[in-house]
Amino acid sequence: MITLIKNIKELLQVRETSVPKVSGTEMAVLPTIKNAFLIIKDNLIADFGSMENLPEIEVDKVINAAGRVVLPTWCDSHTHIVYAGNREQEFVDRINGFTYEEIANRGGGILNSAKKLNETSEEEIYEQSKLRLEEVMRLGTGAVEIKSGYGLTVEGELKMLRVIKKLAQNYPISIKATFLGAHAFPTHYKENKAGYIDEIITKMLPEIAQNKLADYVDVFCESGYFSVEETEKIMQAGIEFGLKPKIHVNQFNSIGGIQAGIKFNALSVDHLEIMNSEDIEALKNTETMPVALPSCSYFLSIPYTPAREMIKAGLPLALATDFNPGSTPSGNMNFVVATACIKMKMTPEEAINAATINGAYAMGLSDTHGSITKGKKASLIVTKPISSYYQIPYAFGSNLIEDVIIEGEII
């Protein structure tokens, strides 16, 4: 099956040879071809270029993209899409003055979601989660990382990871699974933290590795959650079971989580709302991708990741949604890109780089996703007619997407 997309007004994120990530001043450049064509063969990008150089070939299908922008689908490298129920009541409690921490301390927050998850059947969790996955696909996401972390029991964590596996089997979107057993301490382990960590290491990890249920290991490294020492212990164990770390750090406090992640060669360190100069310094010349989650900052009214300072220091930056029931009940990458521009003062070029090529890196998908490169997956967003790609962040509340193509298929 060969599909030709022709007369594309602007084809974005064009890389003749794939680069794994872009950093510092490179982020300001979004390679673009105006008046372009793109050819899809089966599920891959077979060719692209300027309309003047359109080869004469027989095709099965033609899409006329006159007036439209085409770009790679969003790469959302940090989500918690699999969960049960919602936390609407906590949302209203926060409007009435309670903080996220206060709600968590009285048994709400992650423990509230864990209770709901453990009370809900695997089938029902799948049914609820698939609706969210279908929604984000329609919003232009073509690759997504999904975490466990609302089970906090051996059975609950395995149940979540099996749901993620089933979603990956049943949908064309590329999915990476992350084990986040270390998301919070269950109530009955509050006085026996070492006991829960032991359960993660000796019960959960072996079972997960044996059944190949996860690609990465995550820890919520934060005051009141997992200390740096505990985080290191869990990362070490994860690595021994073949899982590279991708960790939650610096959401509310800077306690050394970034340095710990780098020490264990984490693929990414995520959140980064609270950053000091040592944190930024530590990330220089490492393989670890910093990931910002601006819709979490928006929803909780907490600081935004200091993107300008980080890019000025020469660092790369990725953007992701953090889609979860507590801190970010939204999986809209278009809103993430807009919010990064509006609130973090990233340029449209930087934000689109962060949400595509750098997002792919942050979930180990650089070889197949994140840019318009021959041989990569034909996962593309075709916009409605728009004046330029600046519209994507500018018209922040509008849905500008006409078609989403995932691995060659219009969804």
With binding defined as CB under 6 A, does residue 295 bind ligand NIG?
Answer: no
Q: How many angstroms separate the CA atoms of 137 and 128, rounded?
A: 15
Nearest distance in Å: CB 104, Fe ion: 14
Under a CB-based contact definition with an 8 Å cutoff, are residues 401 and 136 in contact? no
Binding of ligand NIG by 230 (CB under 6 A): no
Q: How many residues bind Fe ion (CB under 5 A)?
A: 1
Q: Which residue lies nearer to ligand NIG by CB, 132 or 376? A: 132
CB closer to ligand NIG, 49 vs 303 = 303
Could you tell me if 73 and 381 are in contact, meaning their C-beta atoms sit under 8 angstroms apart? yes
Site for ligand NIG in 302-331 (CB under 6 A): 322, 324-327
CB 132 within 8 A of CB 81: yes
Tell me the C-alpha distance between 336 and 342, whole Å.
10
Q: Which is closer to ligand NIG, CB of 104 or CB of 386?
A: 104
109 contact choice in ligand NIG, Fe ion, none (CB below 5 to 8 Å, kind-dependent):
ligand NIG
Among 157, 322, 350, 407, binds Fe ion (CB under 5 A): 322
Q: Give the integer Cα–Cα distance in Å for 313 and 1.
A: 46
In angstroms, rounded to a whole number, what is the distance separating the alpha carbons of residues 256 and 249? Answer: 8
**Cα angle for residues 327, 322, 400 (degrees, 5° grid):** 110
Question: Where would I find the H helices in 139-265?
Answer: 154-170, 193-199, 205-210, 228-240, 257-263
Q: How far is Cα 65 from Cα 380, in angstroms, rounded to an integer?
A: 12
Q: Pattern 245-264, binding to ligand NIG, x per CB under 6 A? A: ---x--x-------------
Q: Using CB under 6 A as the criterion, what x/- string covers residues 104-143 for binding ligand NIG?
A: -----xx--x------------------------------
Euclidean distance between CA atoms 378 and 88, whole angstroms: 37
Nearer to ligand NIG, 200 or 296 (CB): 296
CB of 111 to ligand NIG, least distance (A): 9
Q: Which residues would be at the binding site for ligand NIG (CB under 6 A)?
A: 109-110, 113, 220, 248, 251, 296, 322, 324-327
Q: Which residues would be at the binding site for Fe ion (CB under 5 A)?
A: 322
